[in-house]
A and B are shown apart, each in its own frame.
Chain A
Amino acid sequence: AQSVSQHNHHVILSEAASLELGCNYSYGGTVNLFWYVQYPGQHLQLLLKYFSGDPLVKGIKGFEAEFIKSKFSFNLRKPSVQWSDTAEYFCAVREYGNKLVFGAGTILRVKS
């Protein structure tokens, strides 16, 4: 079964700083990858997803992620964070049956 590692559990940034959150999954082959975000008091929402094609995926709110097959990675990036990006971010890989395996999450706090 797949497992997902997220490198940092807590990240603190100032507004306008660049963001990169690491995500690695355990084994290769065809993978479907996702980043979800959970804003305080809200439900998990999909930020972006990769199924095939261009390994650079653009999502909502200016986020993007790059799939690097050789590194089993799917890192999330944003060039300039805002205070409203404060949230918990989860990387996930899809397993057979369309169920998702999640990482432990990264809590991002953006200081205004």
Chain B
Amino acid sequence: DTGVSQNPRHKITKRGQNVTFRCDPISEHNRLYWYRQTLGQGPEFLTYFQNEAQLEKSRLLSDRFSAERPKGSFSTLEIQRTEQGDSAMYLCASSLAPLGWGSGNTIYFGEGSWLTVV
């Protein structure tokens, strides 16, 4: 399978614990995105990388969240001191960088990692 791969697919953790999710994008894609989705809502943007550089972070991404893409390939999203409000599906996506406004490249999504904080 050459799509976007995420693991673990499901994680149940106790409040206060740290969790880490991994994303492996489509191999030639230089853009990598993290989104969060809760029940009844569409995905919400968290952050994105171009190669190893983190170019933008949403205000949804509190200080307890950190994302890295150390070698410009896979990425990790860590949540420290989890809270019940962090329960959601965390989606990773990847694309080629657009050549300009209007050229756009399709963003491909992974299957997501479900987090339940109890």
Contacts and interface: CB of A to CB of B under 8 A. Distances in A.
Interface of A: 4, 9, 30, 32, 36, 42-46, 49, 51-52, 90, 92, 94, 96-105
B111 interface: yes
Contact of A49 (B45, B93, B104, B108): B104
Nearest to A101: B45
A32 B101 CA distance: 9
Contacts of A42: 111
A90 B104 contact: no
Given A43-B109, A51-B104, A104-B40, A98 B45 contact: no
Contacts, number: 63
Contact of B104 (A4, A43, A94, A105): A94
A55 to B, nearest CB: 14
- Number of contact residues on B: which range applies? 20 to 34
B55 A102 contact: no
Contact of A105 (B42, B98, B107): B42
B79 interface: no
| Secondary structure class of chain B's binding surface, majority of residues | loop
A30 B101 CA distance: 8
B95 interface: yes
Nearest to A36: B109
Contacts of A4: 42
B103 A51 contact: yes
Given A51-B102, A99-B56, A105-B41, A44 B109 contact: yes
Q: Which residue, of B56, B101, B106, has the highest number of chain A Cβ atoms within 10 A? A: B101
